[in-house]
Amino acid sequence: MAQSKKYEILYIIRPDLDDESKTALVERFDGILRDNGAEVIESKDWSKRRLAFEIKNYREGLYHLIRVATDDDTPLGEFDRLSKINDDILRHMITREED
């Protein structure tokens, strides 16, 4: 069986989201990855940071980091697709970790 590839997903949540909604959002997106076959190694809040430039009228955002392992790109594609249409996620970036 092929070795799972590891990825980091960093996404920025809009800063005015209440704690309950933020928790639900994080759980939903962790679930999207799991439901599509990825193993969520770590999912943690990073920090609230000032953005380099304004995104959707926000000057800062809540950064969240997820580390996942997966054998195929399906979970990443689904995360990418759904995060683009979710208004609570300002930006996201998926990078592959070095082996």
pLDDT score recorded for residue 1: 45
Sheet containing strand 58-70, strands side by side? 39-55, 58-70, 5-13, 89-96
Domain of residue 46 covers: 5-96
pLDDT score recorded for residue 17: 96
| pLDDT tens, the chain, 99 aa long | 467 999 999 999 999 999 999 999 999 999 999 999 999 999 999 999 999 999 999 999 999 999 999 999 999 999 999 999 999 999 999 999 987
pLDDT score recorded for residue 59: 97
Domain count, the chain: 1
Other CB atoms within 10 A of residue 23 CB = 12
Question: Which CATH number characterizes residue 71's domain?
Answer: 3.30.70.60
